[in-house]
Amino acid sequence: MNTTVLNIRTGDRPVVHDLTRACAEFVQDKSDGLLHVFVPHATAGLAILETGAGSDDDLLRRLDDLLPTDERWRHRHGTPGHGRDHVLPALIPPYASVPVLGGRLALGTWQSICLVDLNVDNPEREVRLTLLPG
């Protein structure tokens, strides 16, 4: 098993951060297997989606509609509405798995591996990449 940790700065606003290049570099020149991507945080998730054509912004807008930053949340420490951040991983899980064939990610043409982070209180994230050989 081969593993590494990425340190990602997400900043002070909700983001969809594309991890695809870092994931591709990690599996480059390795054998076939399964890339497991995991974010060890209670307020972030991983999604596979198209980026750059508006889907990432659409996702953030829809999440804001579904999980508004208001006072409805029982979990109330941090920034107002922070409770929604703790609900996010139930909708966008903190893990994703992608096949690796010949040292390349077996993603579809427009698919990207993305960190989804709504939490403005925690601008630093870790993402663990693990290649399970085939």
Q: What is the pLDDT along the chain (134 residues), one digit of tens a residue?
A: 899 999 999 999 999 999 999 999 999 989 899 999 999 999 999 999 999 899 999 999 999 999 999 888 888 788 888 899 999 999 999 999 999 999 999 999 999 999 999 999 999 999 999 999 98
Q: Please tell me the pTM assigned to this model.
A: 0.94
Interatomic CA distance for residues 26 and 29, integer angstroms: 9
Domains and CATH numbers, the chain: 2-133 (2.60.120.460)
Closest CA to 38 of 89, 112, 90, 95: 95
Interatomic CA distance for residues 102 and 125, integer angstroms: 29
For residue 80, what pLDDT is reported? 84
Interatomic CA distance for residues 115 and 120, integer angstroms: 14
For residue 127, what pLDDT is reported? 98
